[in-house]
Structure 1
């Protein structure tokens, strides 16, 4: 699955547009992470537990996006983006990956 942030894919022809696809996950931090983040925010610096939470959430959202695109018959996603929001003030995070699922073919490849 080719996933790009651009609206076009150099070297490829868009043969079919399947439409919007999404990958969504909502994650919450555990109590120890919340306490550690509160203490760390006083002194400054990276909140490593939160960084890891966001990394894992983005990876999961991206995997779900690719699975949805593939289930529609796509082999690429264009105009890919992430959107991240705090979830209901609970210390959780919502991550949405979205884009346009398409079927592409290299310019030098003949149609089937």
Structure 2
């Protein structure tokens, strides 16, 4: 079983010296389905959180980080630092989420 690669939003990993490999990315695009749109329309009337959309965005963020880890692994990285998210809409029914950061390789002590 492969251990999940460390992905952190910090610039430094305490106790680790490393060299920078380069930029890594993970991108996913999710579409809203008819049932989610119906639920969202109802929430527009009564107000409140649209839980199906929240779930969709959570799943999209997770997929983006998984793809970021894959990209970093392909480059031979041990970890990713300075990870950030970006998201946006494409049209009215599609949401895109990107995870990006810096792949690093640990130095031998």
Corresponding residue of 1:102: 104
Residue 100 of structure 1 aligns to a residue in which SS? strand
CA distance in 2, matches of 1:78, 1:68: 13
User: How does the TM-score come out when normalised to structure 1?
Assistant: 0.89
1:1-40 aligned within 5 A: 1-14=5-18, 16-40=19-43
Which moved further from structure 2: 49-58 or 33-42? 33-42
CA distance in 1, matches of 2:38, 2:71: 36
User: How does the TM-score come out when normalised to structure 2?
Assistant: 0.91
Question: Runs in 1 of length 4+ with deviation above 3 angstroms?
Answer: none
Q: Which runs of 5+ in 2 are unaligned?
A: none
Q: Which runs of 5+ in 1 are unaligned?
A: none
CA drift at 1:88: 2.1
- Which whole-Å deviations, capped at 9, do the CAs of 1:46-100 have from their partners, x for residues lacking one? 10110110011111000000000011000100000011101122x2110000000
Corresponding residue of 1:69: 72
- Which whole-Å deviations, capped at 9, do the CAs of 1:8-39 have from their partners, x for residues lacking one? 1111111x211100000000010111111011
Count of residue correspondences: 105
Which of 59, 74, 85 is the aligned partner of 1:56?
A: 59
